[in-house]
Amino acid sequence: MPKLKLTYFDFHGGRGEPARLALAIAGIAFDEDRVPLADWPRRKADTPFGGLPVLEVDGAIVTQSNGINRYVGKLADLYPSDPWEAALCDEVMDAVEDIVNKVSATFDLPDDQKKAQRRALADGPITLYLARLQQHLDAHGGRYFAGGRLSVADLKVFVWIHHLKSGKLDYIPTDLPDRVAPKLVALYERVKNHPGVKAYYAKHGIAE
C-alpha cells in the first residue's frame, strides 16, 4: 500500500469527505492534514489549483475530488471493477459535483441574493437532482448506486445529503431530502451506521 496523506479542511463533509470515509472503511492507514479555515489563505497558494482536497501518494501529489475518490475507491475496494458499473459510479459522483457546484456559487453572495438564489435552487435543481438520483438508485436495486454494493458513489451522496440536512445551508429546507427522496435518506442512514463510518467519526469526535 502506498503512503497516503489526504489534505482537506478541518470540518465534517465537503469534497474531501468521501475519500476519508473510503480509506477509513477499508482500514487503510493515511495521514490526515485537516486544515483549519483560518490557515487556508496561507495554504491556498501551495496547492496545485488553489483548492482542496489534495492527496499525496508516496510523496507525489494529485488533486480533483472525484479522481481522488476513484483512486482511493480502487485501493479500498469501493470502486467497481466492471467498466459499466464504474461508469454508473462516476455518473453519480459527477452529478453530485454538478449540484454541489451550483450551491457553492451562492456561498459568498450578499444575504438577499443568497436567499433568492437558494430558494430557487431548492425548488428547482436540488429537487430535480434528489428525485433523479433516487430514480437511479431504484433502477439499480434500491440499496447501492453501482455494482450492487457500497461504493464511493454512495459515500459522495451520503456527504451531500448530510450537508442538505445539516441546517448549515440557509434558505434550503432541511427536510427537502426526506420529502423528495426518502430512499436517498435511507441510503444516508445506512452509510451513517456503517461501522467504519461510525468509528471514523467517533475518532474525530464528530457527532452526527
Ligand X SMILES: N[C@@H](CCC(=O)N[C@@H](CS)C(=O)NCC(=O)O)C(=O)O
Stretch that binds ligand X, among 50-58, 69-77, 87-95, 152-160 (CB under 6 A): 50-58
Q: Which is nearer to ligand X, 50 or 110 (CB)?
A: 50
Q: Which is nearer to ligand X, 75 or 159 (CB)?
A: 159
Q: Closest CB to ligand X belongs to which residue?
A: 51
Which of 34, 36, 39, 44 is in the footprint of ligand X by CB under 6 A? 44
Stretch that binds ligand X, among 45-53, 75-83, 131-139, 158-166 (CB under 6 A): 45-53
The backbone torsions φ and ψ at residue 194, rounded to the nearest 5 degrees and listed phi first, read -65, 135
Least distance (Å) between residue 205 CB and ligand X:
21
Is 51 a residue that touches ligand X (CB under 6 A)? yes
Alpha helix ranges (H) inside the chain:
17-26, 40-44, 65-75, 83-104, 111-121, 127-139, 152-165, 176-180, 182-192, 195-203
Is 163 a residue that touches ligand X (CB under 6 A)? no
Cell of 127: 429537487
Cell of 140: 439499480
> Which residues, numbered 14-33, are part of the site for ligand X (CB under 6 A)?
14-15
Cell of 62: 494529485
Contact 148, 141 (CB under 8 A): yes
Give me the count of residues in the chain: 208
Contact 4, 55 (CB under 8 A): yes
Instruction: Write the interaction track for ligand X spanning residues 54-93; mark x where CB under 6 A is met and - where it is not.
Output: ---------xxx----------------------------
Residue 163's nearest CA partner among 73, 97, 113 is 97
Q: Which is nearer to ligand X, 62 or 120 (CB)?
A: 62
Residues of this chain that bind ligand X (CB under 6 A): 14-15, 44, 50-53, 63-65
